[in-house]
Amino acid sequence: MAKQKNNLHISLIIPCYNEEENIKKGVLDEIGNFTNSDERITEIIIVDDGSTDKSIDIIKKKYLSLFPKYRLIKKAHQGKAFAIIRGIHEAKSNYVMFSDIDLATPIEEVDKLVSKAVKGADIVIGSRSGRRDGAPLTRKIMALGMIFIRNYIIGLRGINDTQCGFKLFDRNAANKIISSLHVFKTNQIKQGSSVSAGFDLEFLFVASKLGYSIQEVPVIWRHVETKNVTFMKSSIEGLKDILQIKWYDLQNKYPN
């Protein structure tokens, strides 16, 4: 039986790569206003993944002084996965959460994740429950292909949605999982946007190997147009990651 967790505090990680347009829409205001009065969320770590637009300037000039919980970490461009990993390493709270900056899932949905975590879940993942309302056909095809491939190549069954950018982890569990990754173990230098779809898969794959409890909870999700997800590049990148996960698994590199 899972152990009840009452003293739950959260470090919220926001990966950022060339998000000037989203920032100007007020997404950081929404996050800041919500978390200001939420004592569970003790810090918001914005990890900038080498942005080349004005994202960093806007965050520095407006948001760091406006919202005291905000922290900005700057790093070389390595893709979303390594931005999240850096954020987890920097986190101070006993739970870490990450949310996509576009707020495709509203930040208020955190309550649904916390309700599972306080009951003892090590990992709680938001699920779009098979719905992709408003998403273009190419995104829907990419999602269906990812489900089929992950189920039959690496055997990650029992999870409906591995890719929703709204997840909550026990920090100690997350760090142990990260230490056992192989595809996303060595720092990489990326050119252009990289959503690192394989990171979620490898993270959850290793979590299941280590015996951590994974709970999935339906959340609100709405399609937000983004330049960081491209059908061909993201599909090839995701397939390559899955094949590498399978290769490392066949080599018995992961915990048993």
Q: What is the pLDDT of residues 190-245, one digit of tens each?
A: 666 666 678 999 999 999 999 999 999 999 988 776 655 555 676 778 788 889 99
Give residue-wise pLDDT tens across range 70-129.
999 999 999 899 999 999 999 999 999 999 999 999 999 999 999 999 999 999 999 986
**In this predicted structure, what is the pLDDT of residue 1?**
44
Q: Measure the CA–CA gap between 242 and 220, rounded to whole angstroms.
A: 27
Mention every residue, 6+ apart, whose C-beta is less than 8 A from residue 179. none
Q: Measure the CA–CA gap between 93 and 9, rounded to whole angstroms.
A: 5
Q: Which domains does the chain have, with CATH numbers?
A: 10-250 (3.90.550.10)
Count of alpha carbons within 13 angstroms of residue 209, beta-carbon side: 20
Q: Measure the CA–CA gap between 237 and 247, rounded to whole angstroms.
A: 15
Q: Measure the CA–CA gap between 205 and 199, rounded to whole angstroms.
A: 10
Q: Where do runs of H (alpha helix) occur along the chain?
A: 20-24, 27-36, 55-58, 64-66, 80-90, 110-117, 137-149, 171-179, 197-209, 231-250
- The separation between CA 176 and the C-alpha centre of its own chain, rounded to angstroms, equals 16
Model-wide pTM > 0.85: yes
